[in-house]
Amino acid sequence: MDLFKTLFTPSLTELNRLPMTSPTTATSGRTVVGLDGTWDFTLVPSPADAEDGWWDRPEGWRPIDVPGVWTRQGSGDLPHYTNVVMPWDEVPPAVPAENPTGLYRTTFSRPDEPRVTVCFGGAESMLVVWCNGELVGMGKDSRLSSSFDLTPHLVDGENQLAVAVTRWCDATWIEDQDHWYHGGLHRSVQLIGTGPVWVDDLITVGDFDPATGLGSLDVTAEVGSVERLGPGWTVTAALTLDGAPADTAASAEVPRTPKAAGGGAHVAAYAYVGQEASIRLDDLAVAPWSAETPTLYPLELSLIDPDGRVAETVTRRVGFRRIVVADRRLLVNGAEIMIAGVNRHDHHPDTGKTLTEAEIRAELVLMKQHNINAVRTAHYPNDPILLDLCDELGLYIIDEANIESHAKHDSLAVGGLFDLAMVARVSRMVLRDRSHPCVIGWSLGNESGYGAGHDAAAAWVRRVDPSRFVHYQGGLHHSWAHDAPAEGRERPPTALERQVTGLVCPMYATVSQIRSWAEWAERTGEDDRPLILCEYSHAMGNSNGGLADYWAAFRDLPALSGGFVWDWRDQGLRERTDDGREWFAYGGHYGDEPNDANFCINGLVDPDGLPHPGLRELAWLARPVVVTVDGGGVTINNRYQQQIVAPGLVSISWTLETDGAVTAAGTLEHPSVPPGQQVTVGLPTELDPAGLGEPVDATTVTMTVALATDQPWADAGQVLSREQTVLATGPDGHMTAIETAKSEAADNEADGTTPGQDNPLVSHIVTTVGATLWRAPTDNDGVAQGWTAPVTGIRPTWLEWGLDRLTVGDEVIGEWTGDRDGSRTRSVARSLGPVDHRSVQVAHADGSYRFEETFTVPHKLTDVPRIGVTVAVPKELQHLRWFGPGPDETYPDRHAGATIGRWTSTVAEQYHPFVVPQEHGAHVDCRWFELTDGAGRGFRIGGEPTLIFSARNHGDRTLTEATTLAELDEDDTIEVHIDAAIRGLGTAACGPDTTEVVGPGTHRLVWWLRPIG
């Protein structure tokens, strides 16, 4: 069709599309008919193959689900994942000739209303609509709705709706987000029938004055009409407070449409604002809305005709809150807030981009349960259901426009080709979402350079909605680039920079960079904006190392107001092998070239929503209540800024443990703690130092804060935070090991251990234990067996040094020599490639062993994965216990949220199904661990003072060689690692590397082994 060639023009963003309005719920005067369900569908290779009258051809159709993308419904056209580069090699704004085009058709009965419109919630990438064979219109912008007036095209009885959706269009150049490319009608479709006069849009702006404690509400009703509107039409707004709308109703007249001539025409030309009625409700005794206290009030707006009859009634929930950015702080209702945020895509492992309300609610509930309080809608307006639920559950939103030109980052921004499209996308987002209290700021898009289109869009937003800030990382991109000098960041913002971003909002800045900026800004006062990281702590695979360092900076420096982790969910797509094994696909698995492999697998939860360990670390760092113990009492610090920590809201319990065994427990009585304040109460009698005697080296008290009552996002008992105080430690700050004969005997008796000579399992460990420097690489390590991660060359030296192939070379084993106490000692000297390893082994008369390992790493090995020993043990030893940090795995740069205790698990439960198999399951700073079978037989290994261990059914080689879960099989044995050091995780796949690097020098590991049972 020649029509499509005309439509593929950047300046043509729509054809006959109705202006964007905000969604409302109608209770009378309106008919809404859902068109979701099964449509007829066919896919043609290009728009040119959509011949005139294609909607009437009799053959070639198949059923398809709407909403849904055809790329996940067996069409033969498959998903394509790239991050930066475009899926095809063209020059903007050209579109490839091979452009799969989905043709949809369905029928419907005309609603019994004089005016009928159709709303398509989302279509990727461009949709063209026909009704009964007549062209209706066109819309671009895959992530916002397109509505059209069908009234002129309708007939009585059955009508046909036909839609063509192209996979690519000119607008794809500014939809180059880091996500899958799909195609189809991925959000709901509705028919809306109204009377001849209707409420076209309802705009609500709720404000809250923290000084007076009162709210105000501005209500604007835009009234549409088929014909010129005469006098006498009014609107009435009724706000329900405390269950009753008394004293909160007000009315306003809808301005009549002026005539073109007459005595009042000159005045009307200046005074007439359109068919728009405004109502203001002042001095309202309301509770403010915030993410902590998401109080909403129902508003009912009625459109009343000149005879006093209600023509239409629409409703909306409104919230009252005030957003202020000043003095390097982000304030909500006068109180400074900290953003504990995530970036979020609309993603589903089966449907691709279509989610139900229940599925979106489940995501947000999981966020709330992990103390997340904000979402950046990366990198486009998310499904509108998300905003309704964030209003209800309480999450802040930075709403981001559907603009990203990453492949042509700077050139499209300055060329002017897409300026009109950019302004249209930003303005339509604001018009859709401006009545939501959860939206605290607008983002002009992502990674699209900086040009006049951004200036124009920002100016439009500030004129239409001055109640929120505007944010755009691209406005300061160059000064925060990784290779920019430090002084480039520490400078007063330019006028242009202020025009497009009211925040300092870099992505993947280091902790030292943001600390340096905040200290400079507070010292000089030359930048009054707060810094909020729009992306940080890239959660790719086993990641989020160093997250605690960011949060320490956030807590230390007031100019740092938090950030948004990249990102919420792994964007894997579910697939199954022929024998039914489930796995998740990423770039390249569908023959999609070019692609960025697994760079879309970077979430805090897996594609099914299973939390990764990094999410629980974030939950602890963002904990809203901190309860600490010292000799002076128990201090309750309320980090909420809007919420009172009252006994009816939370309960605080405590446990006292000695060497991991609970010796006392109780509940802490506490008063209400105002927002942002702290109180100290007396110690429970059991925690009084006078009654504890001399604490042993691992006496701990753990305070647990949990919900006392059910909340919309969690049941009573949901843990908000845990805080552990170690009352005694060793001289180096670690828990010290107790290896006296008395404590050993007591431990043996308590745990059922049975010392004895010639235990075959112990003998197996002693004779087969070997040294290793290798671990299965994480995505942040950037290297694996046979493949390289998308961000190539992070640490190719691991393979160049041959760390994955190193085995014990020349080995010198000394003879066992007897000691007077009945023990025997020998020395073992080994060569592990360039690393010298010496082991002094002592066999005690009771059947236990002690090992003193020394590793000498040469200077050329500047960064190795781990240093330690490993052994394979029988598979039946599946029962795992350990004493140390838990309950999750821990690494040197990700352990802040762990608490010390005796933890019980299984080897199988140590497995974490990362989409790309990789290193996992380590436990740092542990005193001991044990593996036993079902009968309680096995072994315990301890450290002096501590050690790092892991025990997995999947060994390093198995994890290294597998690239998907379908390729991962359990080994025949359990691989046990006992390490002196292990590399941190960092976020180097996209962001800073770990600061916990294992380098050259002498590393010492002392551990002991004894049988159990």
Q: How confident is the model at residue 247 (pLDDT cuts 50, 70, 90)?
A: low
Strands 179-181 vs 14-15: parallel, antiparallel or unpaired = unpaired
DSSP designation for 897: T
d(CA 771, CA 774): 9
pLDDT of residue 728: 59
CA 635/CA 167 separation, integer angstroms: 59
pTM summary value? 0.95
Kindly tell me the sign of the dihedral angle through the C-alpha atoms of 365, 367, 372, 376. negative
Query: Could you give the maximum distance between any two Cα atoms of the chain, in Å?
Result: 121
Q: Is pLDDT of 796 > 90?
A: no
The amino acid sitting at 963 is T
Kindly state the DSSP code that residue 307 receives in the 8-state scheme.
T
Which of these ranges, 427-431, 769-773, 818-822, 859-863, has the smallest mean pLDDT? 818-822
Report, as an integer, the average pLDDT of 85-108: 96
pLDDT in tens, 329-362: 999 999 999 999 999 999 999 999 999 999 999 9
pLDDT band (50, 70, 90) for residue 830:
confident
Per residue, what are the HEC states of 185-213?
Answer: ECCCEEEEEECCEEEEEEEEEEEEECCCC
Mean pLDDT score of the chain: 92
Residues 6+ apart with CB under 8 A from 99: 45, 46, 47, 166, 167, 168
**For 371-384, what is the mean pLDDT?**
98
The string over 121-133, giving b where at least 16 C-beta atoms fall within 10 Å of a residue's C-beta and e elsewhere, is bbbbbbbbbbbbe
Runs of H (alpha helix) within 910-982 = 956-961
Task: Give 947-993 pLDDT, tens digit per residue.
Answer: 999 999 999 999 999 999 999 999 999 999 999 999 999 999 999 99
In the prediction, which pLDDT does 264 show? 62
